[in-house]
């Protein structure tokens, strides 16, 4: 069993750390939020007063932070220099590939191993331990990380060199935003014509419109008990985080001169929805934006 430092115990990191505890690992967590620390303690983990304190004697450091800025700030030269040599660093935040590569290079230069391992599967997947991990980095480091990732996820993919996990992840999230908006448009149209959202969703799930947003994350309140839509869009994947990921996809498109017209349209819709004061609620709330009277 490993001693694992876990930095960032929010909607995703909290339940991921709790699953590592359940599998018998010693987990020492740090977060800026007291309630996140309390939740880890009640799940049987230990808490620290700083990220550095959490990493004392750790074999593995996992981070689950909002954005690239937070990841670059955490993995400063000073911080990495104080880790045990050969420490395995797993960053599961969704960030830009450029930052992922630069922190991994720094970590390697200081005798550590580092992979980018962003996840898919949402907060329910984090709680159930069924996340998909998409790994970029050296193959040998991926093999070393696999048993740890298996404690939190079901499907573990190796995407390629450092940063490749992040590129695959933003492609996935661009597609997710597009099918969430498409699903919301379709349900909104149907319900405005008097259809029951549950019945319409069942029909489309068994027809060619079937997709993940319909199957496990229905945006219409009351269709799925466990979806954020049925909990006033709380506790899921924030609009601001989706807007960030769509921004990363747009940047990646510019870098490689790739057209992403639907991704760009999705970015604009999410940006407007965030600016209207909805940045902290779940991204499936975009159905409310589309439901405004025209
Ligand atoms: P969140 O905002 O719920 O959690 C982030 C946590 O990081 C917060 O608790 C915050 O206090 C903490 N934090 C910020 N700076 C810190 C620092 N310097 N030291 C310690 N803690 C710090 O976000 P989340 O939904 O858990 O998402 C985390 C990452 O996972 C993001 O990159 C997001 O894009 C990605 N992601 C989220 C989901 C989802 O469904 N929520 C799904 C897949 C991937």
Mutate to test the pocket of ligand 1, among 12, 30, 61, 96 (most ligand atoms within 8 A of CB): 12
Rounded alpha-carbon distances, angstroms, from residue 77 to 82, 84, 113, 165? 9, 14, 14, 23
Verify whether ligand 1 is closer than 6 Å to residue 281 (CB atom).
Answer: no
pLDDT score of 192 more than 90 = yes
Residues 244-257 pLDDT 10s: 999 999 999 999 99
Alpha-carbon distance 95 to 116, whole Å?
A: 9
Verify whether ligand 1 is closer than 6 Å to residue 10 (CB atom).
Answer: yes
Verify whether ligand 1 is closer than 6 Å to residue 13 (CB atom).
Answer: yes
pLDDT score of 47 more than 80 = yes
Give residue 188's pLDDT band: very low, low, confident or very high (50, 70, 90).
Answer: very high
pLDDT of residue 235: 85
Verify whether ligand 1 is closer than 6 Å to residue 137 (CB atom).
Answer: no
Measured in Å, residue 116 CA sits from the centre of ligand 1 at 15
Residue 34: which H helix or E strand, with range?
helix 34-42
Q: How many CA atoms lie within 13 A of 168 on its CB side?
A: 22
Rounded alpha-carbon distances, angstroms, from residue 217 to 24, 122, 134, 279? 31, 9, 21, 18
Measured in Å, residue 207 CA sits from the centre of ligand 1 at 35
Measured in Å, residue 75 CA sits from the centre of ligand 1 at 16
Give residue 1's pLDDT band: very low, low, confident or very high (50, 70, 90).
Answer: confident
**For the chain, what percent of residues have pLDDT higher than 70?**
99
pTM, two decimal places: 0.91
Measured in Å, residue 70 CA sits from the centre of ligand 1 at 10
Atom of ligand 1 nearest to the CA of 244: 34
Verify whether ligand 1 is closer than 6 Å to residue 36 (CB atom).
Answer: yes
Residue nearest to atom 4 of ligand 1 (CA): 10
Residue nearest to atom 8 of ligand 1 (CA): 10
Measured in Å, residue 283 CA sits from the centre of ligand 1 at 15
Verify whether ligand 1 is closer than 6 Å to residue 33 (CB atom).
Answer: yes
**For the chain, what percent of residues have pLDDT higher than 90?**
95
Atom of ligand 1 nearest to the CA of 73: 18
Provide mean pLDDT across the span 102-129: 96
Does residue 292 or residue 244 have the better pLDDT? 244
Q: How many CA atoms lie within 13 A of 271 on its CB side?
A: 11
pLDDT score of 22 more than 80 = yes
pLDDT score of 294 more than 90 = no
Provide mean pLDDT across the span 101-123: 96
Under a CB-based contact definition with an 8 Å cutoff, are residues 2 and 28 in contact?
no
User: Among 175, 145, 153, 181, which residue's Cα sits nearest to residue 269?
Assistant: 181
Point out the residues that are catalytic. 169
pLDDT of residue 256: 93
Give residue 52's pLDDT band: very low, low, confident or very high (50, 70, 90).
Answer: very high
pLDDT score of 234 more than 80 = yes
Residues 75-92 pLDDT 10s: 999 999 999 999 999 999
Provide mean pLDDT across the span 258-285: 97
Provide mean pLDDT across the span 33-38: 98
How far does CA 9 lie from the centroid of its chain? 12
Can you list the domains of the chain with their CATH numbers? Answer: 3-162 (3.40.50.720), 167-290 (1.10.1040.10)
pLDDT score of 128 more than 80 = yes
Alpha-carbon distance 180 to 175, whole Å?
A: 8
Per DSSP, 243 falls in state: H
């Amino acid at each position: 069993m490993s001693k694992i430092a876990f930095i960032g115990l929010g909607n995703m990191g909290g339940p991921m750390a709790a699953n590592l505890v359940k599998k018998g690992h010693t987990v020492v967590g740090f977060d800026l939020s007291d309630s996140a620390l309390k939740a880890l303690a009640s799940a049987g983990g230990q808490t620290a007063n700083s990220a550095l304190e959490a990493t004392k004697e750790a074999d593995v450091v996992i981070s689950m932070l909002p954005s690239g800025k937070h990841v670059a700030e955490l993995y400063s030269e000073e911080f990495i220099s104080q880790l045990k040599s050969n420490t395995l660093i797993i960053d599961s935040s969704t960030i830009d590939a450029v930052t992922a590569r630069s922190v991994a290079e720094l970590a390697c230069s200081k005798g550590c191993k580092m992979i980018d391992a962003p996840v898919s599967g949402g907060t329910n997947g984090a709680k159930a331990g069924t996340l998909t991990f998409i790994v970029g980095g050296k193959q040998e480091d991926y093999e070393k990380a696999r048993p740890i990732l298996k404690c939190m996820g079901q499907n573990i993919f190796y995407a390629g060199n450092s940063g490749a996990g992040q590129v695959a992840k933003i492609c996935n999230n661009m597609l997710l935003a597009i099918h969430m908006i498409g699903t919301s448009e379709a349900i909104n149209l149907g319900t405005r014509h008097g259809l029951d959202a549950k019945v319409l969703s069942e029909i489309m799930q068994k027809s060619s419109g079937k997709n993940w947003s319909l199957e496990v994350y229905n945006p219409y309140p009351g269709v799925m008990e466990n979806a954020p839509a049925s909990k006033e869009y709380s506790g899921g994947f924030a609009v601001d985080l989706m807007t960030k990921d769509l921004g990363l996809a747009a940047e990646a498109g510019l870098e490689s001169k790739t057209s992403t017209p639907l991704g760009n349209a999705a970015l604009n819709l999410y940006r407007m929805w965030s600016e209207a004061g909805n940045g902290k609620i779940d991204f499936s709330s975009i159905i409310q934006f589309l439901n405004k009277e025209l």
